[in-house]
Amino acid sequence: MTERDDEAVSKFIERFALMLSEGGVPRMPARVFVGLLASEEGQLTAGELAELLSVSPAAVSGAVRYLTQVHLIVREREPGSKRDHYRVRDGSWYESAMDRERLLSLWSEALTDGVSAVGADTRAGARLRESVEFFEFLRVEIPIVLDRWRARNAAD
């Protein structure tokens, strides 16, 4: 069995969290999520997360609230325990991608309203219409890709 290198794990957490934050995930939720991903059991308490990341429990609290809202983690309580445990959801990336479909629909609707507001025959209208078409394309294609992912994992 390979021995865990805590210093290398810390560096990985910070490096990947930075990549996620550059992609739009708020910094502290990114750090908490990667900390959970890198934990052996995929779950930690708020205190354990605070210690792992050298942050305050309040910082962890806000981060886990965000991560549960976007369905990347779940909050659980062990039987007989008074402490909450935060766990990476099975298929967390899949679930998060599925949630994007709802956002794509909302964005598409808002952009369609924008096309009407700026005028369909204007350059701005053309840009907005192209955005609508792109999001509609994604709404069709993402579920197909995710279904292929689910089928691939079911075959393993």
pLDDT of the chain, 156 residues: tens digit per residue: 778 899 999 999 999 999 999 989 999 999 999 999 999 999 999 999 999 999 999 999 999 999 998 888 999 987 877 888 999 987 777 777 777 778 888 999 999 999 999 999 999 999 999 999 999 999 999 889 988 988 998 887
Instruction: Identify which of 93, 4, 16, 80 has the alpha carbon closest to the alpha carbon of residue 40.
Output: 4
Question: Would you give the distance in Å from CA 130 to the centre of its chain?
Answer: 26
Boundary residue ending a domain (52, 72, 88): 88
What is the count of structural domains for the chain? 2
- Can you give the residue range of the structural domain that contains 139? 92-155
The pTM of the whole model exceeds 0.85: no
Give the CA angle between residues 103, 109, 110 to the nearest 5°.
90
- Is 139 among the domain residues? yes
Does one domain contain both 133 and 59?
no
Are both 73 and 118 inside the same structural domain? no
